[in-house]
Amino acid sequence: MPSYSPEIRFSDIDAMGHVNNAVYLSYFEQARIFYFKHILDQDWDWFKHGILVARNEINYAAPIFQKDKIEIITKCTHIGTKSFTITYEVMRGSEVCSTGASVLVCFDYHQKTTISIPDDMRKKLESLKV
């Protein structure tokens, strides 16, 4: 599974001294982009075979601080006809700081309509599904 280690920026920190709750969605987005870069060809046409975020969820377990080194483990856990679910584990060493999930729907931005998961994407997702 590809994992992503975001840089924790000063602007990510709130008045309590830890990463603000809203920033986790940005971390998940970065991890998701990193994940797709590793499973799909670089010339993937995101306008023809794009995705929309239909749902996000976050579970907070432990605060993250600016000097922490974290890793986000990204996995595909469900594959439907037009949608699939990506999950995230935010780790500080062996400690789980947060978990989350995104339901993603395949979308053709030219046609402005949902589409079935493209075959190439489905094969890659299925090969990594847990």
Its CATH architecture, for the domain 3-128, is: Roll (3.10)
Q: Mean pLDDT across the stretch 64-79?
A: 97
CA–CA distance, 30 with 49 (Å, rounded to integer): 19
Q: What is the pLDDT of residue 28?
A: 98
The pLDDT > 70 percentage for the chain reads 99
Q: Residue 97's CB: how many other CB atoms inside 10 A?
A: 21
Q: In this model, does residue 1 exceed pLDDT 90?
A: no
Q: What is the pLDDT of residue 53?
A: 98
Q: In this model, does residue 2 exceed pLDDT 80?
A: no
Q: Mean pLDDT across the stretch 107-130?
A: 94
List the chain domain ranges.
3-128
Q: In this model, does residue 81 exceed pLDDT 70?
A: yes
The pLDDT > 90 percentage for the chain reads 91
Q: What is the pLDDT of residue 128?
A: 87
What confidence tier does 130 reach under pLDDT thresholds 50, 70, 90?
A: confident
The pTM for the full model equals: 0.93
